[in-house]
Amino acid sequence: PAAAQEFKWTVQTAYASGDDLHMTFVRLAEMIEQMSGGRLIMEVSPGGAFVPAFDVLDAVNDGVIDAAGGDADYWVGKHPAGSLFASAPGFGMPSIDLMGWMYYGGGKELFAEYINDTLQMTNTVSFLLSPAQAQPFGWFEEPVTSAEDIKGMKYRTPGLPVDVMREMGAAVVTVPGSEVVPSLEQGVIEAAEYFGPKADMILGLPDVRKIYMMPSYLQLGLIQNFFVSKERWDELPDDLKAIVTYAVMAESADFYWKGLDENSKALAKMETEMGVKVTETPRDVMEAQLAAWSAVLDRYAEQDEFFAKVLDSQQDFAARVVPLKARINPPADIALKHFGFE
Amino acid sequence: MSFGVILGFVQLASLLVGIFAGFPIAFTLIVLTVFFGYLGLGDRAFDLMVYQAWGVMGTETLAAVPLFVFMGYILEQAGIMERLFKGFQFTLARVPGALYIGVLLTSTIFATATGIIGASVTLIGMLAAPVMTKSKYDPALSAGTITAGGTLGILIPPSVMLVVLGPVVGVSIPKLFAACILPGLLITGLFLAYTLVRCWINPALGPALPEAERPANWRVAVKELIVGMTPMLVLIGATLGSILTGVATPTEGAGMGAAGALILTILYGRFTLPRLRMALYQTVIVSSMILFLLLASNMFGAVFNRLGTGPWIANLLVSWDLPPFGVVMALMIVVFLLGWPLEWAPIVFIFLPIFLPIVQQAGLNLLWISALVAVNLQTAFLSPPVAMAAYYLKAVAPQWHLKEIYSGMFQFVGLQVIALILVLAFPAIALWLPAVMFD
Amino acid sequence: MAAEDDDALLRALKQDEDLPDLEQMRKAVPNIPDPWRGIVMKIDRFADLYGHVLSWLVLALVAIVVMEAIRRYAFNNPSIWAYDLSYMLYGTIFMLGAGTTLRFGGHIRTDLFFKDWSPRTQAGVDLVFYVLLFFPGLFFFFWAGFDKALSSFMITERASASFWRPILWPYRAVIPATALLLMIQGVSEVIKAAFQFRSGESA
Ligand code: NA
Ligand code: NA
């Protein structure tokens, strides 16, 4: 049967076009086009194409673009709770577990409340997309050997992690995204984190720093969002609505799987071909990170009722899930040792 | 072709008419944006304009513009740059076109400190234009040298354009920086050779110092050069040095330059409060002119893209199924043509991503392609009608007519095309340095 | 700043022959009858006034960025506010300064044909543009900008790049304020153009 109707959406993301974060929306568009037999087509442009990256959500709400890609770390200026839906460590839940909270622990409803009520973006339908792996601690001149080393370090990170690093005593420097690599190269900042092995490699971080530290509790992954203008959403027939809803879930899983493949390859390439030295973050530094996170989160929760409500909901879910995973998953080091992957 | 795409083409055509009608260019751009935006997008177009304004207002690196403009006015008052160019002229007293060399070398040095075209064209224009006019240099060639030299900053790293372009194409920013250094120096060389050859053929274009004004001997000339150079070296130390050694960000470096110029004025005993107030006031007017124009052209580009015309052109090319060489040529020609009415940002954001898959399919070296695109986009600043460099210069050198500035710029666009062909024919110009530095 | 101070500044500047003459930069008020003349003078004086205020912000911007570089490099103690203050000052200077720039004829025109036209034709072109295009265009810009500033106010939006997180609505309000100042200056320009059109003599 011929396609009943054709919908064409102009979509802009908050990311650079080579970025994994941008590419997930490009693949989502491909999936939706295939599933709908070409009835719904999305033209995806990178951050800055129509509006600045920080404004994609507002632009969807105003109808300036039809749909957008971003993550709620971008809206911590509008309301700090955004971080809890994006990359904050969620009581020890990495983003793939946070997705569980979103779908089965009440997170999705809270996120809709955040977008539609707290931020007053009443003309926006939001989706949760593409959980990412934990984000490394970043690129340093010398390995960090203890939490003491952080004190006075000129470090660059965005969003609530700025509060956390300040809590740990770092001299957090604000540098616009476009200046991160030049600033590291010239030494205006000593250290910085970006996103993950593949994205960091594309940005050129291994060309300006060689010590790559991981793991880190600073950002335990990231969940992205797909925002659709309510007008555009309402005019879709039910089957196309279902296609969008399930394509979002399919791409979310695929993003994680693909991330395992691509990030492991990128890390190997950086270590073997680009002289990068991957260094393990000391335990006391990670403990200090979590302590600083708790202090920061408590401060915000005290000031804001909604923030506290989201935090409570996460804690309830984490109290079940984090112990479950600790009990049910055998420790990784046994397998690493047994198979000789170390 | 949809209604929006057609509107986009009409919008471009109207721009030509509107600009030549002689109404202020910034408002022509804004008015066309409102009109065509409303026809194609409804009142969403007005929101789109506000987002673009907000984007420019939030770009911290652009704070370098008022800072460098202020530095320029302070230096002009203290007569510091005039002495530097005098020193050049003295030392090269017998060489016709000595000031062109001075301008181009200063521009190249300046380009390693900043990639903000508005800042470099204005600053160099402010300082060099009066000396060139006084020395009876050819207005067109002088204006061409200043505008073309001033745009080198976008190609020679660091440069905001390269930082944005890198991730769009998927090449590392440090590598792209390295890839653009030699093409940048090649262009400087072409500019130098061109101005000198033209002055050699026709010395009237850049008259050597009259016999009476020439220094008595080489000692006098060297002394004048040293006296002229010293304050400049102090300032380069404050500006460039602070950026290159990691003391300051590019914006802070511009501030250091401004503060350094102010201190020099005090040391030279040229500081007065009325002079300071005048410099500050003129800084407001000139920065506002530059940045408001930038904002207006961003608005124009955003609506043009939102109407779908840019993507339409790119998709048309993609559908042609060209061989690899054809892909490169098509890319270069379209970027060049789009550079006439548009600035680099809308081209990089909308056009390149659509075109990128066929570049990748053709198996072309992405670093080489990026360097080619960068050289090509530098030309966009020099190609009227939306030729920002011309307007920036006009704002600080009102003695030159736009017609003269345009005709000077066109000569340098020709040199840019030659550079582009050289990088096309010899990819090593772009690829050699990154290979040496990073592999 | 009072008008007397301003004139004193001009006199002082005139004595210093190395300086460009601000008065020359200003378009002298042409032969315009009252009450129009009074309106033009008042509007132009207003643009001079906020131009002066903005010009001191340039000095503040210099001071802030230099201090920040020193704080970070020499004392390893970057401030939390320098980043936000520097883009806010820069944005305020060039946006609000657009009105003053219009008053001094500082927005660049293409003079390829314009300069050869008679003063009457020039004034006619300006009148058509201002009345039919400039005012409607800026009105919509004002309206959309006001809307954004208002919603920023409603949710107490803050900047998020730095730890400082300043309230954003005053900076967002710079957009509608710019449009408003430009429209006010536009009134003066229209009156000037109208009388130039009528008399056929350039100012
Ligand atoms: Na540069
Ligand atoms: Na152009």
pLDDT tens string A68-92: 999 999 898 899 999 999 999 889 9
- How much is the average pLDDT of B170-199? 89
B389: CA distance to ligand 1 center in Å? 15
User: What count of other Cβ atoms lies within 10 Å of the Cβ of residue A306?
Assistant: 17
Contact C200, C120 (CB under 8 A): yes
d(CA A275, CA B110): 33
In Å, how far is C85's CA from the nearest CA of chain B? Answer: 10
- How much is the average pLDDT of B149-160? 82
A22: Cβ–Cβ under 8 A, 6 or more apart, which residues?
Answer: A13, A15, A16, A44, A46, A47, A69
Q: How confident is the model at residue B274 (pLDDT cuts 50, 70, 90)?
A: confident
Residue A5 confidence (pLDDT)? 57
Per the model's pLDDT, the better-predicted residue between B310 and A36 turns out to be A36
Closest CA relative to residue B302, chosen from A25, C175, A64, C147: A64
Q: Complex ipTM, two decimals?
A: 0.91
- How much is the average pLDDT of B253-280? 88
DSSP 8-state class, residue C176: H
Give the strand pairing for A67-70 and A222-229.
antiparallel
d(CA A15, CA A23): 9
Residue C186's H or E segment, with its range, is: helix C174-199
d(CA C64, CA C81): 9
- How much is the average pLDDT of B336-364? 78
Q: CA dist A31 to A257, B98, B133, Å?
A: 16, 62, 63
B114: CA distance to ligand 1 center in Å? 4
Q: Return the axis-axis angle of helices C174-199 and C82-103, rounded to nearest 10°.
A: 10
Handedness of CA A113, A114, A117, A121 (dihedral sign): negative
**Which residues in chain B are closer than 8 Å to A181, comparing Cβ atoms?**
163, 173-174
d(CA B92, CA B416): 27
- How much is the average pLDDT of C165-179? 96
pLDDT tens string B375-422: 998 888 888 777 888 888 888 888 888 888 999 999 999 999 999 999
pTM of the predicted structure, to 2 decimals: 0.88
Q: Which residue reads 């260019």 in tokens?
A: B25
Residue C200 confidence (pLDDT)? 75
Residue B129's H or E segment, with its range, is: helix B117-134
pLDDT tens string A278-333: 999 999 999 999 999 999 999 999 999 999 999 999 999 999 999 999 999 999 99
What b/e readout covers B354-389, taking b as 16+ CB neighbours within 10 angstroms? bbbebbeebebebbbbbbbbbbbbbbbbbbbbbbbb
pLDDT tens string A114-148: 999 999 999 999 999 999 999 999 999 999 999 99
pLDDT tens string C16-56: 444 444 555 455 556 788 888 889 989 999 999 999 999 99
Q: Return the axis-axis angle of helices B273-306 and C3-15, rounded to nearest 10°.
A: 110
- How much is the average pLDDT of C170-178? 97
- C133 interfacial to chain B (CB closer than 8 Å): yes
Q: Which chains, if any, share at least 3 CB pairs under 8 A with chain C? A: A, B
In Å, how far is C169's CA from the nearest CA of chain B? Answer: 12
Total count of residues recorded for chain A: 342
Closest CA relative to residue A286, chosen from A47, A92, A124: A92
In Å, how far is B330's CA from the nearest CA of chain C? Answer: 31
Q: How far is CA C164 from the centre of its chain?
A: 28
- How much is the average pLDDT of A50-66? 93
Contact B306, A10 (CB under 8 A): yes
Residue C15 confidence (pLDDT)? 45
Closest Cα in chain B to C159: B58
In Å, how far is B9's CA from the nearest CA of chain C? Answer: 20
pLDDT tens string A153-208: 999 988 899 999 999 999 998 887 777 888 898 888 999 999 999 989 988 899 89
Contact C88, C161 (CB under 8 A): no
Residue C16 confidence (pLDDT)? 47
Give the strand pairing for A7-13 and A40-45.
parallel
Residue B205 structure tokens: 């274009």
**Which residues in chain A are closer than 8 Å to B173, comparing Cβ atoms?**
181-182, 203-204
Give the strand pairing for A211-214 and A138-140.
antiparallel
Listing from the earlier edge strand, what are the strands of the sheet with A171-172? A171-172, A154-156, A191-192, A138-140, A211-214, A277-280
Q: How confident is the model at residue B439 (pLDDT cuts 50, 70, 90)?
A: low
d(CA A189, CA B247): 10
Which SS3 state, helix, strand or coil, does residue A18 take? coil
Contact B100, B121 (CB under 8 A): no
DSSP 8-state class, residue B154: G
d(CA B151, CA B168): 22
Which SS3 state, helix, strand or coil, does residue B144 take? helix
Residue C30 confidence (pLDDT)? 60
Partner-chain contact C160 A159, CB within 8 Å: yes
Question: What residue type is C43 in one-letter code?
Answer: I
User: What is the full DSSP assignment across A272-319?
Assistant: HHS--EEEEPPHHHHHHHHHHHHHHHHHHHHH-HHHHHHHHHHHHHHH
Q: Which ligand is nearest to the CA of B180?
A: 1
Give the alpha-carbon dihedral of B88, B90, B92, B98, to 10 degrees: 50
Give the alpha-carbon dihedral of A172, A177, A181, A183, to 10 degrees: -50
Q: How confident is the model at residue C14 (pLDDT cuts 50, 70, 90)?
A: very low
Handedness of CA A209, A213, A218, A220 (dihedral sign): positive
Closest CA relative to residue C71, chosen from C80, C61, C60: C80
Closest CA relative to residue B251, chosen from B125, B163, B160: B160
Compare CB distances from B278 to C22, C112, C113 and report the shortest one's residue.
C22
Contact A21, A177 (CB under 8 A): no
Residue A141 structure tokens: 């001149």
DSSP E strands, A230-284: 277-280
Hey, which residues does A11 pair with through a beta bridge?
A44, A67
- A163 interfacial to chain C (CB closer than 8 Å): yes
Q: How far is CA A254 from the centre of its chain?
A: 15
Chain A neighbours among B 21-60 (CB < 8 Å)?
A: 41, 44, 47-48, 51-52, 54-55, 58-60
Q: Is the pLDDT of residue B85 over 80?
A: no
